[in-house]
Amino acid sequence: MLIIFIATLFGLGSSFTATDNLGQIGEALGYKPQAINTFVSLHSIWNFFGRIFSGFASEILLMKYKIPRPLMLTLALILASFGYLFIVFPFPGSLYFASVIIGFTLGLQLPLCVTIISELFGLKHYALLLNFSQLMSPLASYILSVKITGALYDKEAMKELARLGLQRIKGQPLTCIGTQCYKLSFTILTAVTLFVALGSLVLVKRALKFYRSDIYKKFRDNAEEVVKAEEK
């Protein structure tokens, strides 16, 4: 369960951080407001597709090829890191690709975490484990977004003011323009996400035997017992 908590903490946390800063990233990289609105729309649309895809794709891979569901979580984390790299090394139009990838992988991660917890640990303490796991996301978002990404953004904005020979007016929000505004912070997010992806392979290995068995047998048995009890 600790591995799932860490994956939720840093995997989803990184995705939420990118989502929260998407508009400001577009502004920093010089995109027009209309393009920024497009990024937000693309992110939302592909987040929806990711949620749908994670369900039927992981089920097909599990039923046909006995590929453990946590492996798809690992692949989602690796794919998400490529989305962050489009921000670290931007090129014209790169944020379109980044918004699609980040939205899609965020949509993948959420249902997978929920399903994996129920399958590996059952339903007896499901509510407790799920809510504790979901609690990790806002905590990670605060750490990664406010304490790391936000702090580094402000630092670069202050450097920009210093280069221009200006001083910050008290109460005035800081604005940073340029690729350097998010370069270091998203390099950190990429490294963190790849580290969590490697760590999730431990969960894949441990759950391999379980997922190669008939994981739905106990549910069928319970259903048959209920039917027999009703017939009596």
State pLDDT tens for residues 64-105: 888 898 999 999 999 999 999 999 999 999 999 999 999 999
pLDDT at 5: 77
Closest CA to 23 of 182, 183, 169: 182
How far apart, in whole angstroms, are the C-alpha atoms of residue 88 and residue 101? 14
| Distance, CA of 39 to CA of 132 (rounded, Å) | 31
pLDDT band at 221 (very low <50, low <70, confident <90, very high): low
- Cα separation, 182 vs 156, whole angstroms: 9
Q: How far, CA to CA in Å, does 153 sit from each of 42, 174, 176, 180, 184?
A: 24, 9, 7, 9, 9
Gyration radius from the chain CA atoms: 21
Q: How far apart are CA 164 and CA 200, in angstroms?
A: 46
When divided into structural domains, the chain yields a total of 1
Q: Report which of residues 117 and 122 the model is more confident about.
A: 117
Examine residue 152 and state whether it is found in any structural domain, yes or no. yes
Contacts of 40 (CB under 8 A, 6+ apart): 22, 23, 99
Q: What stretch of H or E contains 129?
A: helix 126-141
75 in a domain, yes or no?
yes
Spatial CA neighbour of 99 closest among 167, 157, 35, 52: 35
Which pLDDT does position 121 carry in this prediction? 82
With CA atoms as reference, report the closest residue to 151 among 118, 188, 124. Answer: 188
CATH of residue 10: 1.20.1250.20
Which among 199, 190, 232 is positioned nearest to 89, based on CA atoms? 190
CA-nearest of 112, 81, 30, 68 to 215 is 68
Phi/psi region, residue 66 (left: phi>0; alpha: psi -120 to 50; beta: rest), is: left
Asked if the structure places residue 37 within a domain, the reply is yes
Task: Specify if 170 maps to a domain.
Answer: yes
Q: Is residue 231 part of a domain?
A: no
Q: Which residue has the tokens 């600790």?
A: 2
Domain annotation covers residue 226: no
Distance CA 12, CA 10 (A): 6
Q: What integer is the mean pLDDT of 187-214?
A: 89
| Domain-located, residue 228 | no
Residue 222 has pLDDT above 70, yes or no: no
Domain span at residue 188 reads 2-221
Any domain includes 128 = yes
pTM of the model: 0.88
